[in-house]
Amino acid sequence: MNPQIPVDYTEYTKQSFGKLCDKIYECYFSYYRTIPKELQKKLSIQNCKQKLLENLDKKIALHNSKTKLLAVQCYEKMLESSCKKFMMVSYAEPSCYSLRKENKSFLKNLAE
C-alpha cells in the first residue's frame, strides 16, 4: 500500500490521533494498571487525545506536503503494527524517524 495525503488532512489527523491513543492504551494496558491511580488519570485515553489535539491547527499549518506524507505513512505503519512491535515501529520506521527529524524544526516555529 502506498498512502496518499488525504484531502481533509486535518480530519485525518484527528482520527489518526484518536486511533493512536487507543492503540497505545491497548498495547500498554497491563502496565497502565500497575501505576498509581493519580497517574492513570493523567495518562488516560481522553487526556492522550486532548494533548495531541492541542494547537492542532497551528501544528498542521507548519506542515508541507512532504511532512504530511511522512505523517500519513508513519501513522499507518504504527496502526498496522502489532503491540510487540509498536514502540519499535514508532522509533525506527523510516517515515516516523524522518517525521521526528522534520518536527524538531516545527517545534521551534510553534514556540514562536
Predicted pLDDT at 82: 97
Residue 83 resides in a domain? yes
Tell me the pLDDT of the chain (112 aa) as tens digits: 578 999 999 999 999 999 999 999 999 988 888 989 888 888 888 899 998 889 899 888 888 999 999 999 999 999 999 999 999 999 999 999 999 888 876 656 555 5
1 assigned to some structural domain? no
2 in a domain, yes or no? no
When divided into structural domains, the chain yields a total of 1
Q: In sequence order, which residues have a C-beta less than 8 Å from that of residue 72 and are 6 or more positions away?
A: 3, 4, 5, 6, 12
Is 17 part of any domain?
yes
Question: Which secondary structure element, helix H or strand E, spans residue 27, and what is its range?
Answer: helix 9-32
Q: Is residue 3 part of a domain?
A: no
Q: In which domain, by residue range, is 53 found? A: 9-111
Residue 20 confidence (pLDDT): 95
- Dihedral, CA atoms, 57, 75, 39, 83, nearest 10 degrees? 170
Residue 65 lies in a domain: yes
Q: Is residue 81 a part of any domain in this protein?
A: yes
pTM listed for this prediction: 0.83
4, part of any domain:
no
